[in-house]
């Protein structure tokens, strides 16, 4: 029987963004990598409720030469060790590569659904940009955007202030 899951973006959801020249960007080193507040308890709550948890993240900094494979691997290891995380999928491509895994394309979600027997229509994506919600909607998931100063124009099925609010919404809608 297909299982319910929650797909989570990494930067801006799991970990804090780094501002460079006033623009939000991904951390490029382990020293810049800082988890968002209360991530572990929120993920534990989703996992305990029976959801399979997956992180799906665009990391074009790799293709752009702004982050090393070693730094990315170390940051990924920190995410994999969070409560309930089954797998982390990374798209290392840049926009011009035209791949099917780079959000807003749904490739990472669809591949994970096939591999883990997930029900996309019973699943959610939590992100901080329209690329996240668009990928989720294209895959057939329900989408949640975490409200951030840089994403007021991003649309989703729901907009909530933080990860804990997203978890509460998901669990309430399950009943």
Annotation marks residue 9 as catalytic: yes
Residues 6+ apart with CB under 8 A from 131: 58, 103, 104
Domain CATH number, residue 48: 3.40.50.1000
Residue ranges making up the domain that contains 58 = 5-174
pLDDT in tens, the chain (175 residues): 679 999 999 999 999 999 999 999 999 999 999 999 999 999 999 999 999 999 999 999 999 999 999 999 999 999 999 999 999 999 999 989 999 999 999 999 999 999 999 999 999 999 999 999 999 999 999 999 999 999 999 999 999 999 999 999 999 998 5
Q: Which residue of the set 11, 95, 128, 132 is catalytic?
A: 11
What single-letter DSSP state applies at residue 104?
Answer: T
Annotation marks residue 11 as catalytic: yes
pLDDT, mean over the chain: 96
What is the total count of domains within the chain? 1
- pTM above 0.95? yes
């Amino acid at each position: 029987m297909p299982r319910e899951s929650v797909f989570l973006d990494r930067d801006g959801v799991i970990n804090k963004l780094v501002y460079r020249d006033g623009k939000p960007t991904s951390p490029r080193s382990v020293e810049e990598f800082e988890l968002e507040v209360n991530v572990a308890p929120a993920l534990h709550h989703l996992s305990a409720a029976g959801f399979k948890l997956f992180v799906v993240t665009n990391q074009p900094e790799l293709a752009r030469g702004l982050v090393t494979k070693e730094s990315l691997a170390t940051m990924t290891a920190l995410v994999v060790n969070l409560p309930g995380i089954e797998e982390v999928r990374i798209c290392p491509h840049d926009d011009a590569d035209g791949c099917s895994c780079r959000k807003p394309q749904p490739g990472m979600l669809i591949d994970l659904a096939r591999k883990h027997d997930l029900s996309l229509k019973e699943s959610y994506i939590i992100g901080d940009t329209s690329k996240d919600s668009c990928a989720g909607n294209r895959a057939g998931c329900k989408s949640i955007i975490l409200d951030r100063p840089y994403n007021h124009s991003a649309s989703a099925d729901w907009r909530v202030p933080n990860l804990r609010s997203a978890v509460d919404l998901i669990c309430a809608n399950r009943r």
